[in-house]
Amino acid sequence: MKTLAILATLATIPTTAAAQTCAPNDAGLTLPRGFCATLFVDSLPGARHMAVAPNGDVFVAAMGRRGAGGGIFALRDTTHDGRADVRVRIADFSSSEVRLFDGYLYAENGTGVVRWRLPAGQLRPAGPMDTIVKDLPPGGNHFLKTFVIDRNGVLYVNVGTATNACQPKDRQKGVPGADPCIERETRGGIWKFDARKLDQTQPVGEHFAIGIRNSVGMDISPMDHTLWVMQHGRDQLNLWPEYTDRASAESPAEELIHVKEGGDYGWPYCYYDVPKQRMQV
């Protein structure tokens, strides 16, 4: 995941700077004709998602490793050589998401969403941290709370599942999943909030969509302003004798989902089977 963050950062470097400083070997990458790369930063443990300000400053959410090193970081290239030479640590909690919206820097902290006022062109926030959403379910298999904000200030927050497939004894061979899966009431879906309101809780938000195990990537389409997510599907089909290790490696698919209000996308009852090219119960 750290490498993915670095590559995405490189794509945002202004054309003039990138053209002047491309590494002779494209930082070890093989790229299409017309593209080149430098290594912007390589020392943020567990870097996940990031946001780029209009002036090129980069804000990164990092999970850290072994319980340390995570946080929200601000990076700047002052010498225009394609490498970050200024780094500011804004927060020290583990995080997977950061966004810029309406003059604020937003981030998730494992149980909700927080923000800081960020003056234009600045690396350091001004004023204290605000809590936008709090008290979301902590822990479990997927404890991070990725999110996205649309142009109207609608905040969509992913609450990933605590289990792999809603089994009472998680990931145990032959243990059937609970039916009904009560976990879907508070996890495994997307909740909708107001990005400008403080101290919202899950009951206040709208349960926008269900049956999504964990939305590891979220974005708003620039064309029709609708929500799209990339789901991290369930694991370990080979816990059941009907499935081989190879079948378990190929399926379920990680699905790109066009999320509609009120939609149910199947977890844990069904998944997308790659060889069969269809949803499978």
- For each of the domains in the chain, give its residue range(s) and CATH number, in order of start: 47-280 (2.120.10.30)
Tens digit of pLDDT for each residue in 145-166?
Answer: 999 999 999 999 999 999 999 9
What local confidence, expressed as pLDDT, does residue 8 receive?
Answer: 37
- Cα 109 → chain centroid: 12
Q: Is the peptide bond before 180 cis (omega within 30 degrees of 0)?
A: yes
- Measured over the CA atoms of residue 209, residue 97, residue 232 and residue 151, the dihedral's sign is positive
| Token digits of residue 261 | 């209000």
What local confidence, expressed as pLDDT, does residue 67 receive?
Answer: 65
Helix (H, G, I), strand (E, B) or coil at 115: strand
Where are the extended beta strands (E) located within the chain?
A: 47-52, 58-62, 71-76, 86-91, 98-101, 104-108, 113-117, 126-133, 147-149, 154-159, 189-194, 206-210, 215-220, 227-231, 256-259, 271-273, 278-280
**Whole-number percent of the chain with pLDDT over 70:** 92
Helix (H, G, I), strand (E, B) or coil at 17: helix
**d(C-alpha 138, C-alpha 147), whole Å:** 15
Length of the chain: 281
Helix (H, G, I), strand (E, B) or coil at 258: strand
**d(C-alpha 144, C-alpha 136), whole Å:** 10
Q: Which residues pair with 258 in a beta bridge?
A: 228
Give me the tens of pLDDT residue by residue for the chain, a chain 281 residues long.
343 334 433 444 444 444 456 777 888 899 998 888 888 998 898 999 999 999 999 999 999 987 678 999 999 999 988 899 999 999 999 999 999 999 999 999 999 999 999 999 999 999 999 999 999 999 988 999 999 999 999 999 999 999 999 988 888 888 788 899 999 999 999 999 999 999 999 999 999 999 999 999 999 999 999 999 999 988 878 777 777 888 778 888 889 999 999 999 999 999 888 888 888 88
What local confidence, expressed as pLDDT, does residue 235 receive?
Answer: 81
What local confidence, expressed as pLDDT, does residue 210 receive?
Answer: 98
Place of tokens 């499978």: 280
Tens digit of pLDDT for each residue in 249-267?
Answer: 888 888 999 999 999 999 9
User: How many alpha carbons fall within 13 Å on the CB side of residue 169?
Assistant: 6
Helix (H, G, I), strand (E, B) or coil at 5: helix
**Whole-number percent of the chain with pLDDT over 90:** 65
Where are the extended beta strands (E) located within 119-267?
A: 126-133, 147-149, 154-159, 189-194, 206-210, 215-220, 227-231, 256-259
Q: Which residues pair with 156 in a beta bridge?
A: 148, 192
Q: What is the pTM of this model?
A: 0.89
What local confidence, expressed as pLDDT, does residue 247 receive?
Answer: 78
